[in-house]
Chains A and B, each alone.
Chain A
Amino acid sequence: MRRDGWLFPACQALHFIGMSLLFGAIGLVDLRVLGFFKSIPIPAVLKLIPIAIAGFALNLSTGVAFLSSNPYQYWPSPMFKLKMAVIVWAGVNALYFTFAEHRKLAHVGADFEPDFQSRVLAGTSIVFWLIVILAGRLLPTFEGSTSFLDF
């Protein structure tokens, strides 16, 4: 991957496609749970979750490829640590939503509205994924630095 000059941008392009899949799907789910676009029944919007998972899997694999191509460049970077921490946090958030809320929501009628707890989860989810995009975009800026104060 380091040697072939075209492979790296190809993986980056895939990473951006995965990002669009993940953010497009999870964004709509979150917005719907938050109470926007009420003409979409809750069970219907939840069917988008596998698209989000597919996008995440694509980005996990290309992400691991970036890391293995140059681990020393990424590992010490504060932005890399921030991105990973927020992904883990967003992941826990998503898992909690899936196991605690999704199971309830999947079997409800078309006119069901989510409770306050679900809305909080949806709100944090959309904010977390936005932070992940920003932190990822800022990775090259903090390349070679070990602190946010020094780059």
Chain B
Amino acid sequence: MEFLKWLEHTGIGEWIRTDSFGFPLILCAHSIGLAGVVGIVYMLSFRVLGYSKGIPIAVFERIFYIAWAAFILNAVSGVLLFISNATHLIVNWTFLLKLILIAAGGISLWALWSALMGGPERTTPQGMVTRRGKALAVLCLVFWTGAIVSGRYIAFTMAEAKEKELMDSTSVSTKAPDGAKSGAPR
């Protein structure tokens, strides 16, 4: 907890939490990355499930470069967002759920791709996808959608937790704006 507190009060942590541009800027990067990663996972899953069969599955090997770039963007922006609110996030169940769902989504995507590349799809681009591949595509859809939903609820549960904290502390009588609670200079 001491380490997390230290993280929060590093220069970058303070900047993201308190600067009026810091938080929105990182969130912008995070939502572009989201659209890239999940958008591509969705398209692969739909293709595997039988939509637009004219798209050769093997082409996703190259499309994944974009997904990786978007994922790295989100890993970096995600770490920055975590740093800015580390002590609150580490006890936030929606945040922990999101991490689990991303891990599950990553594992199913990896399993799906291994199944596809080891199966008949590799040699016959228009070929049938195995039932196992389709099941994994459904898992990908579920986990990655779950990651979006739980991520969206983080902001919400965080606001609730901070409000409760304010109510609990008797010294603060007025509702402080989000993030200004630490009293850090702007």
> Is the CB of B59 closer than 8 A to any CB of chain A?
yes
> Is the CB of A109 closer than 8 A to any CB of chain B?
no
- Quick one: CB contact mask for A34-78 with B, threshold 8 Å, 1 for yes? 000101110111011001000000000000000000000000000
Q: Is the CB of A23 within 8 A of B59?
A: no
Q: Is the CB of A13 within 8 A of B38?
A: no
**The stretch of B4-12, B25-33, B109-117 that contacts the partner chain:** B25-33
Q: Which residue of B lies closest to A15 (CB)?
A: B152
A37-B62, A138-B24 known; A133+B153 contact, CB < 8 A: no
For B51, the chain A residues whose CB sits under 8 A away are: 47, 51
> Is the CB of B40 closer than 8 A to any CB of chain A?
yes
For A19, the chain B residues whose CB sits under 8 A away are: 31, 34-35
> Is the CB of B58 closer than 8 A to any CB of chain A?
yes
Q: Is the CB of B39 within 8 A of A27?
A: yes
For A47, the chain B residues whose CB sits under 8 A away are: 51-52, 54-55
A149 to chain B, nearest CB (A): 13
| 8 Å CB interface, B104-127 against A | 125
> Is the CB of B149 closer than 8 A to any CB of chain A?
yes
A5-B156, A13-B153 known; A37+B63 contact, CB < 8 A: yes
> Is the CB of A86 closer than 8 A to any CB of chain B?
no
The CA-CA distance from A37 to B63 in the complex, in Å, is: 8
For A45, the chain B residues whose CB sits under 8 A away are: 52, 55
For A116, the chain B residues whose CB sits under 8 A away are: none
A17-B148, A134-B28, A137-B28 known; A40+B35 contact, CB < 8 A: no
Q: Is the CB of B52 within 8 A of A48?
A: yes
> Is the CB of B15 closer than 8 A to any CB of chain A?
no
Q: Which of B24, B38, B59, B155 contacts A37 (CB 8 A)?
A: B59
Q: Is the CB of B42 within 8 A of A16?
A: no
The CA-CA distance from A141 to B179 in the complex, in Å, is: 13
Q: Is the CB of B155 within 8 A of A44?
A: no
A20-B38, A28-B43, A138-B24 known; A44+B55 contact, CB < 8 A: yes
Given contact pairs A28-B63, A138-B24, enumerate 7 new A-B contacts (beta carbons under 8 Å): A13-B152, A20-B34, A24-B40, A39-B125, A40-B55, A45-B55, A134-B32
- Residue positions of B touching A, CB distance < 8 A: 20, 24, 27-28, 31-32, 34-36, 38-43, 46, 51-56, 58-59, 62-63, 125, 145, 148-149, 151-153, 155-156, 160
**When A and B form their complex, which 4 residue pairs have the shortest distance between CB atoms, in order from nearest?**
A24-B39, A44-B54, A47-B52, A20-B38
